[in-house]
Structure 1
Amino acid sequence: MTSRKAEDPDQPAIIEEKIVRVNGEIAVRQYSKGRFLGKGGFARCYEFCSTETRKLTASKIVPKASLTKSRAKQKLMTEIKIHRSLHHPNIVGFEHFFEDQENVYILLELCTNQTMNELLRRRKRLQELEVQCYLQQIISALNYLHAHKVIHRDLKLGNFFLSDKMEIKIGDFGLATKLEFDGEKKRTICGTPNYIAPEVLDGKMGHSYEVDIWSLGVVAYTLLVGKPPFETSDVKTTYRRIRMNSYSFPENISLSEPGKNLITRILVTDPTKRPTLTEISNHEFFHQGNSIPKLLPPSTLACPPSASYMRQFLPQAQSAANLRLTETTPSLPKGSGRNSKNELVNTERMPRQKDDSNKMPTKSISGSPSNEIWVKKWVDYSSKYGLGYLLSNGSTGVFFNDSTKILLSPTGDKFKYLERKGPDRQDVVSEHLLTEYPKELQKKVTLLQHFRSYLEGDVKQETGEERQDENEFGNIYVKKWMKTRHAIMFRLSNKIVQVNFQDHTEIILSSETRMVTYVNKKGERNTYPLSNALESTNQEMTKRLKYTKEILSNMLTAPKQAEKDFEV
Structure 2
Amino acid sequence: IRDAALRLRDTKDCNVGLNGLRLFEKLTSAIYTTDSKNTNCLGGMVAGKKKDVTSGTLYNLLAACLDSMPDGVGSNPTPLSYSPLFITKWIDYSNKYGFGYQLSDQSVGVFFNDLTRISISHDKSRVEFHDNNGRLSIVSPSTLPAWLQERYHLLRYVASYMDENLSEAGETTNVTTTSSGNTSNSSNNSSTSSTSSSGDGSNNNSNGNNKANSSSGGSSNSQTVPHVRRWDRTPKSIIMQLSNGTFQINFFKDHTKIIVSGERSSEEACLLYINSDRVSSTFKLSHVASSGCDGAIRERLVYALSCLRQYAELDGEEV
CA distance, structure 1, for counterparts of residue 146 and residue 15 of structure 2:
35
1:477 aligns with 2:232: no
Amino acid at match of 1:429: L
Contact 1:414 1:432 in 2 (8 A): yes
Per-residue CA deviation, residues 404-425 of structure 1 (Å, 9 max, x unaligned), is 111012233431001242xxxx
2:3 to 278, 300, 304: 300
1:494 to 238, 244, 252: 244
- Structure 2 equivalent of residue 433 of structure 1: 140
Per the TM alignment, residue 510 of structure 1 is displaced from its structure 2 partner at its CA by 2.3
1:508 to 255, 259, 278: 259
Per-residue CA deviation, residues 83-121 of structure 1 (Å, 9 max, x unaligned), is xxxxxxxxxxxxxxxxxxxxxxxxxxxxxxxxxxxxxxx
Spell out the pairing of 1:440-455 with structure 2 (5 A cutoff).
440-455=147-162
1:390 aligns with 2:102: yes
Amino acid at match of 2:258: I
Contact 2:119 2:129 in 1 (8 A): yes
TM-score (norm 1): 0.32
Contact 1:516 1:533 in 2 (8 A): no
CA distance, structure 1, for counterparts of residue 109 and residue 309 of structure 2:
24
Other structure's SS at 1:490 match: strand
Q: 1:469 to 1:525 in 2, by over 3 A?
A: closer
Contact 1:534 1:545 in 2 (8 A): no
CA RMSD of aligned residues (A): 3.5
Contact 1:533 1:542 in 2 (8 A): no
CA distance, structure 2, for counterparts of residue 431 and residue 404 of structure 1:
14
- Structure 2 equivalent of residue 13 of structure 1: none
Per the TM alignment, residue 534 of structure 1 is displaced from its structure 2 partner at its CA by 11
Contact 2:231 2:241 in 1 (8 A): yes
CA distance, structure 1, for counterparts of residue 290 and residue 252 of structure 2:
21
Q: 1:545 to 1:524 in 2, by over 3 A?
A: same
1:328 aligns with 2:40: no
- Structure 2 equivalent of residue 403 of structure 1: 115
Q: 1:506 to 1:469 in 2, by over 3 A?
A: closer
Other structure's SS at 2:119 match: strand
Contact 2:121 2:219 in 1 (8 A): no
2:311 to 546, 551, 555: 555
Q: 1:537 to 1:395 in 2, by over 3 A?
A: closer
Contact 2:119 2:128 in 1 (8 A): yes
Q: Larger C-alpha radius of gyration, 1 or 2? A: 1
> How many pairs were matched up?
206
Per the TM alignment, residue 434 of structure 1 is displaced from its structure 2 partner at its CA by 2.2
Contact 1:373 1:391 in 2 (8 A): yes
Contact 2:261 2:269 in 1 (8 A): yes
Structure scoring higher RCO (CA < 8 A, sep ≥ 6) equals: 2
Contact 2:219 2:225 in 1 (8 A): no
Tell me, which stretches of 5 or more residues in structure 1 are unaligned?
Answer: 1-297, 306-326, 331-342, 347-364, 422-426, 560-568
Q: 1:374 to 1:431 in 2, by over 3 A?
A: same
1:545 to 280, 301, 319: 301
Contact 1:498 1:507 in 2 (8 A): yes
Q: 1:405 to 1:528 in 2, by over 3 A?
A: same
CA distance, structure 2, for counterparts of residue 529 and residue 413 of structure 1:
33
Contact 2:98 2:110 in 1 (8 A): yes
Tell me, which stretches of 5 or more residues in structure 2 are unaligned?
Answer: 17-76, 168-205
CA distance, structure 2, for counterparts of residue 515 and residue 501 of structure 1:
19
CA distance, structure 1, for counterparts of residue 101 and residue 14 of structure 2:
14
Q: 1:429 to 1:541 in 2, by over 3 A?
A: same
Other structure's SS at 1:456 match: helix
- Structure 1 equivalent of residue 23 of structure 2: none
CA distance, structure 2, for counterparts of residue 476 and residue 496 of structure 1:
9
Per the TM alignment, residue 537 of structure 1 is displaced from its structure 2 partner at its CA by 6.9
CA distance, structure 2, for counterparts of residue 556 and residue 382 of structure 1:
24
Spell out the pairing of 1:163-202 with structure 2 (5 A cutoff).
none
Per the TM alignment, residue 490 of structure 1 is displaced from its structure 2 partner at its CA by 1.5
Other structure's SS at 1:435 match: helix
Contact 1:408 1:414 in 2 (8 A): yes
1:375 aligns with 2:130: no
CA distance, structure 2, for counterparts of residue 536 and residue 509 of structure 1:
16
Q: State, as a whole percentage, how many aligned pairs show the same letter.
A: 29
Contact 2:80 2:281 in 1 (8 A): no
CA distance, structure 1, for counterparts of residue 303 and residue 79 of structure 2:
28
Q: Which has the higher helix share?
A: 1
Other structure's SS at 1:551 match: helix
Contact 2:84 2:272 in 1 (8 A): no
Q: 1:472 to 1:371 in 2, by over 3 A?
A: farther
